[in-house]
Structure 1
Amino acid sequence: MALRDSDPAEVGGYRIEDRLGSGGMGVVYLARSASGRRLAIKVVHSQYADDDEFRTRFRREVAAARQVSGAFTAPVVDADADATYPWMATLYIPGADLGTHVREHGPLPLPRLRGLAAGLAEALRDIHRAGVVHRDLKPANVMLAEDGPRVIDFGISRAAEFAASDVLTQTGRVMGTPPFMSPEQFAAPQDVGPAADMFSLGSVLTYAATCRGPFDSPSPYETALRVVEGEPDLTGVPDELLPFIRLCLEKHQKSRPAAGELFTLFREGGPPRPAPRARRRGAPRTPVARRTADRAG
């Protein structure tokens, strides 16, 4: 994307070279350090700079991103949450994001889907071990790097160590991207935990396999209803991945596997056994999910 006249020439001493994109929170620039290293710098929109709650959330974004290993994300290089326009610089990850790739090239073939599924499960395992919940896992936040998928943009992530009484969870705002959100993000945002990312993973994998989400609708309201109450549309998902995706898309948080358990299933090549549909609304339905529920309870 071409730079605009209003774009800065540098941020934090880093020379701006190009625009990478713009979202609800800010603009992302391609920049270069004095040593020549390429960086992605996110600068928040001016209308949010004076919002105390937003600044607090941005500080947490920086803290959350710094807690997570750079093996599966974009490592934080520098940041200034107290600047006139807060910014964060991460290592630039070359390549397209999953959403752009699928729009331009169509669904991923099965071998790449397997790699994406295992890579994202491994990434979420690392993120959750650091005590972080991403809360906005979607195709645009998955970079298809040469060494595997990278999860980026912790713009609305929340460190799991923060209590549910945290002021940022009491605002009543629905935070996330509706087609890829979990039921609890709509129904009980203050109770969102790692299981929400697992639900989003199921939706992201469905999109990668079919070019659409499992709950897509032209209306955001209808999309939310489908996420909370409806059955996912998994038409076109390869049979090999169906058991894993269905497990991720369980409505009840305790019925979903932890990221590490799902990664183990992918690595061992053994999908979970399907359970009778009559038990859908009951207790966790698989050994993996039961272990997850035992630890959560």
Structure 2
Amino acid sequence: MLGELHERSPRQIGPYRLLARLGAGGMGEVFLGADTRPSPHAASGPPSLAAVKVVRADLLTAAGDDAFRDRFRREIATARAVEGRFTARLLAGDADAPAPWLATEYVAGPTLDRAVRECGPLPPETVRSLGLALVRALRGIHHARVLHRDLKPANVLLGAGGPRVIDFGIARDFGASTLTATGAMVGSPGYMSPEHVLGGRHVVSASDVFSLASVLCYAATGEGPFGTGPVAAVLYRVSQAEAQLDAVPVELRELIEDCLRPDPSARPDVIALETRLRDAGASDRIVWPDGVRSQVALYEGALADTVRAAGPVAGRLPTMPGASPVHSAQTVT
């Protein structure tokens, strides 16, 4: 959830005053930021709150400062072209700052990973609707000629307005292979595709479909399709597409199996998946179970407390992100 800023944490990044720490990842730290720029037309301008990711300084050294910044600049421009209701919109970024950064739309809610760990697997009807939303997110990402390459439960946020896919485009390696110059793997072993295991040059749009199926398996069962254990063992099972789907509800199994086919060309594309999910009863309005609904409320409460404690930013209070009502599994209005 929202954490306090460390003593070494920056207090201002670009136009964003940092209010809290959201977490850290392979590329750097992520903060909750409030835009300090005047916004007389808040309804038509960018959201006042953002998730601000600041790149680690050692990545600049490892990849070569100029090469890294050039790649980062292109990735920001590409990610800005991604549009869609179910992706966290890129708001701003600066590849030339001492520490390169980017800001995306902030979503008050848990990751799918955390929601399932704390509340248990989602009901099949919720998984179908989640799948429809994620397919639409991938359509927007692929339309911008971007490959996500790291779709996993930790990169799906569950908010009051539905799920949002994060880290699209930017999450991928700044090189073309699966390993970086430092030897770190790009991607998450249990949610990679067989062709991704072979190296970044083999990744195609169907690779994201493979990862999507793994995410839906996790949402429905609480476990990924390729199990856990040593990374080498997991990657071997992925490379052979040896998925364990016995625990997947029967009404979801065929679709997930089709998306996990070893041959990328044999997997359904996002257009076919959208049709299949709609025909199976997937809804545009996701009905979160009560446990997830309670988690979202906790995040929203923590956000409200942080905003109140921050006080005025550039002469005004930060605007809370707009959200549609969260519906429980028992009561839908």
- Considering the TM-score relative to the shorter chain, is it more than 0.5? yes
Q: Does 1:229 align with 2:240?
A: yes
The answer on 1:148 being equivalent to 2:150 is no
The Cα of 1:188 is off from its aligned counterpart by 3.9
1:168 partner letter: G
1:10 and 2:12 aligned: yes
2: distance between equivalents of 1:230 and 1:57?
32
**Corresponding residue for residue 64 of structure 1:** 78
Per-residue deviation, 1:170: 5.3
Q: Which runs of 5+ in 2 are unaligned?
A: 40-46, 283-333
Contact 2:108–2:159 (Cα < 8 Å) also in 1? yes
What does residue range 11-90 of structure 1 map to in structure 2 within 5 Å? 11-34=13-36, 35=39, 37-50=48-61, 51-52=63-64, 53-90=67-104
Question: 1:213 Cα shift?
Answer: 0.6
Q: Distance in 1 between matches of 2:189 and 2:151?
A: 11
Q: CA deviation at 1:238?
A: 1.1
Secondary structure of 1:132 counterpart: coil
Residue of 100, 111, 119 corresponding to 2:114: 100
Task: Tell me the distance in 2 between the aligned counterparts of 1:70 and 1:94.
Answer: 18
Identity of aligned residues (%): 45
Letter in 1 for 2:260: L
1:132 and 1:157 in contact (8 A); partners too = no
2:218 is the alignment partner of 1:207 = yes
Match of 2:176 in 1: 169
Opposite residue 226 of structure 1, the aligned amino acid is: R
Inter-partner Cα distance in structure 1 for 2:179 and 2:156 = 27
Cα distance in structure 1, aligned partners of 2:123 and 2:75: 33
Distance between the aligned counterparts of 2:95 and 2:58, measured in 1?
A: 15
Distance 2:92 2:80 in 1: 10
**Shift in Å at residue 133 of structure 1?**
0.6
1:270: how far off?
8.3
Aligned CA-pair RMSD: 2.0
Q: Paired residue for 2:195? A: 184
Deviations 1:20-49 (A, max 9, x none): 110010111001112581111000112113
CA deviations 1:176-202 (Å, max 9, x no partner) are 111000000111421211011000001
| Inter-partner Cα distance in structure 2 for 1:28 and 1:236 | 35
Q: Which has the higher contact order (CA 8 A, sep 6+)?
A: 2
Q: Conserved in 1, the CA contact under 8 Å of 2:128 and 2:281?
A: no
Report the CA distance between 1:126 and its aligned residue: 1.6
Superimposed CA distance per residue, residues 112-160 of structure 1 (whole angstroms, 9 cap, x where no aligned partner): 11111111111111211221110000011111122222110133348xx
Whether 1:254 aligns to 2:265 is yes
SS of the residue corresponding to residue 79 of structure 2 reads helix
TM-score (normalised: structure 2): 0.74
Letter paired with 2:98:
T
Provide the residue aligned with 2:308 in structure 1.
none
Equivalent positions of 1:113-152 (< 5 A) are 113-152=127-166
CA contact (8 A) 1:15 1:31 kept: yes
Cα distance in 1, alignment partners of residues 195 and 178 from structure 2: 16
- Provide Cα deviations, 1:244-281, integer angstroms capped at 9, x if missing partner: 1001101111011111210111112289xxxxxxxxxx
1:61 and 1:156 in contact (8 A); partners too: no
The one-letter code sitting in structure 2 at the alignment partner of 1:6 is R
User: Residues 195-225 of structure 1, C-alpha deviation per residue, up to 9 Å, x if partnerless?
Assistant: 1100000110111111111112210000000
Point out the more displaced range, 30-39 or 189-198.
30-39
Distance 2:139 2:215 in 1: 16
Tell me the residue number matched to 1:219.
230
Contact 1:64 1:157 in 2 (8 A): no
Q: Is the 8 A contact 1:93 1:145 kept in 2?
A: yes
1:243 aligns with 2:272: no
Runs of 5+ in structure 1 lacking a partner? 159-166, 272-297
Q: Which amino acid aligns with 2:156?
A: V
Aligned equivalents of 2:199, 2:55: Cα separation in 1: 27
